[in-house]
Chains A and B, each alone.
Chain A
Amino acid sequence: MEKITDYQYALDVSSIVAITDQRGTIKYVNQNFCNISKYTAEELIGQDHRIINSGYHSKEFIRELWRTIASGKVWKGELKNKAKDGTVYWVDTTIVPFLDPEQKPYQYVAIRSDITNRKIGEEELRNTLKEISDYKYALDESAIVAITDQKGIITHVNNNFCKISKYTAEELIGQDHRIINSGHHPKAFIRTLWKTIANGKVWKGELKNKAKDGTDYWVDTTIVPFLNQQGKPYQYVAIRSDITERKRGEEQIRLNNENALRNANMLEAKNIQLVDFCNIVSHNLRAPLINIAMLVDYIEQSDNEVERLEVLGKIKPVVNHLMEVFNELVESIQVKQDTGIESERLVVQEYLDKVLVGYETQIADYKAIIETDFKEAPEVYFPHKYLESLLTNLISNALKYHSPDREPVIRVKTRKTAPKTIQLTVSDNGLGIDMVLHKDQIFKIRKTFHRHADAKGFGLFMTKTQVEALGGSIWVESMPDVGSTFFIEFINQTT
């Protein structure tokens, strides 16, 4: 008997206890019941149990409760009740029916425990969860999302990610994130990205990725590291948006600008050539024509037969000269228009040897020494006709303008100056050219810089025309009485 009293005591202390009769009229409440319902025992006893009904539960729910206990079975569940002051509280409830000898319940003992805090917590959690899932929904709808662990192994991807990368989620999850690496970005760039997020900082930038089918796409990317208690990232959430169209537009604009610039440069070069050509026509063709006109005028006006014959004799050389200049011009224009001329791989040494044969006598007479170095670049890719004429011009100049004070030394050398560029140099220790005086004129037609009977001013002009027709360039460094070095750069070399 004492044992039962002990149990009752323990129950009263620990739980909210109420006893009603079979109709639900309250017969007993303990102190805990009064505390939570804010009624006194006197206010409760004799009242229908619905006094604490909150109206929260559906009729069906309450009917089921009554059906259970009326049939003599124990009911367990969570109930929301209302206190005297109108506030509500949640109780975990067990109702035990006590049966008479006919097995009919004659009273119900309800044992409750307060779970209000838990319920509030649950509700808050539910709200928070709903908000979070709304956010997630919004994010998944709008962005390309992927989550990786701290090593970069993909743990989650959303639909948008699959759509743009053309992989399925199954193909991606468990893979290293580098599966979509396009290789476009420099190593230092990627290193900075990793350093940023590994330090727990958000990284933002534009990335070029590669889809499963090998096509590229651009994404504006934000990577947010999720940190553990120690402040170390345990996963990275990458949120991206597709900017491929914009990037293509930008690329197109860049290409267009480049093209425009190239065209402008080409036009400028053409324009310079045109001005040069205009000057050539203006001077080199017009001068002999004027000579002829003046000579003819003179003959017409002169009465002196001897003088007329003398002047007449002067016409022929001028006509020859005019013809010569005219032919040179035609030749140079042909080079400019000869865009179809074939380049081929040529062994420079072979061509030089061929040219040197033609100058054997002079080389012997002047005791000239020819030094060559073609180790670094033995071959050039160039039209053979032009290479021959170029070497002929440079070697013949080096011999023609040798210094009378020393034996000529001519050095011919090739070297690689850029991945697809070969530079040929021909240097001599000859008379040299006064660069201050003649800098702008060295490669112009009919410009000569030495008092030499054979100086015609056509060789370097032709050489320049040929080199430039193939996109190359030519320039010279020179010191009077020290020597000259001619530089020729061949571009677009296949080697």
Chain B
Amino acid sequence: MNSVKNLTLVDDDEIFVFLTTKTIRETNLVELIKVFGNGLDALNFLIENKDNPEALPEIILLDLSMPIMNGWQFLDEYASLHPDMGKKITIYICSSSISPDDIARAKNISEVSDFIIKPITKDKLVDVLKKL
């Protein structure tokens, strides 16, 4: 039984994407996984599909440090965009950063549900997915 139709990973770290995709598949909780290597690609996809709820993800796992457009910049853009979204999207920051500044900054962004410090375990993933 898949509880989540669409999950989006926004992360440029190939190893992380490779392993997390594998782990998510093993949970059997997600139907479709989409991956973007930077914030801009993800943002463009959301804009293109804002009126197409079927294509939009229920959850985004967002890395912070990425080329072209990083996680913070993505969140900035998304803040002005999300009232137009045809679907409620839950965003988790998923970063290797252990900087207290980053964690505090994330807490102040209402679009962000939580800050997950990498590595992300299978248990934690199941936990997050079940909460939706």
Write the residues of chain A forming the contact surface with B, with a CB cutoff of 8 angstroms. 275, 278-279, 282-283, 286-287, 290-291, 293-295, 297-298, 311, 314, 318, 437, 441, 446-451, 455, 457
Which residue from chain A places its CB closest to the CB of B73 in the assembled complex? A437
| Contact A287 B96, beta carbon cutoff 8 Å | yes
Q: Which residue of A lies closest to B70 (CB)?
A: A441
Residue in chain B with minimal CB distance to A455 = B67
Contact A282 B16 (CB under 8 A): no
Pick 23 A–B contacts, CB within 8 A, sort by A: A275-B101, A279-B97, A282-B96, A282-B97, A282-B98, A283-B96, A283-B97, A286-B97, A287-B13, A287-B96, A290-B16, A290-B96, A290-B119, A294-B15, A294-B16, A294-B19, A295-B15, A298-B19, A314-B15, A318-B15, A437-B73, A446-B65, A448-B67
| Inter-subunit contact A279/B118 (CB<8 Å) | no
Is the CB–CB distance between A294 and B119 below 8 Å? yes
Identity of the chain A residue whose Cβ is nearest the Cβ of B65 in the assembled complex: A283
The closest CB in chain B to the CB of A452 belongs to: B67
Give chain B residues whose Cβ lies under 8 Å from the Cβ of A282: 96-99
Collect the chain B residues with CB atoms within 8 Å of residue A446's CB.
65
Tell me how far the C-beta of B46 lies from the nearest C-beta in chain A, rounded to whole angstroms.
17
B68 contacts which chain A residues (CB < 8 A)?
A: 448-451
Chain A residue at minimum C-beta to C-beta distance from B96: A287
Residues of B within 8 A of A (CB): 13, 15-16, 18-19, 22, 64-65, 67-70, 73, 95-99, 101, 118-119
- A449 to B39 CA separation, bound complex (whole angstroms): 12
- Complex alpha-carbon distance, A239 and B48, angstroms: 85
Contact A437 B69 (CB under 8 A): yes
State A286–B16 Cα separation when bound (angstroms): 13
Residue from B15, B22, B73, B99 having most chain A Cβ neighbours under 10 A? B15
Chain B residues closer than 8 Å to A295, beta-carbon distance:
15, 19
Residues of A within 8 A of B64 (CB): 283
Whether A291 lies near B67 (C-beta < 8 A) is no
Chain B residues with CB below 8 A from A441, complex form: 70
Q: Tell me the smallest distance from the CB of A60 to a CB of chain B, in Å.
A: 105
Contact B18 A314 (CB under 8 A): yes
16 further interface pairs, Cβ-Cβ under 8 Å (given A283-B64, A441-B70, A449-B67)? A282-B96, A282-B99, A286-B97, A287-B13, A290-B16, A290-B119, A291-B13, A293-B119, A294-B16, A295-B19, A298-B22, A437-B73, A447-B67, A448-B67, A448-B68, A457-B67
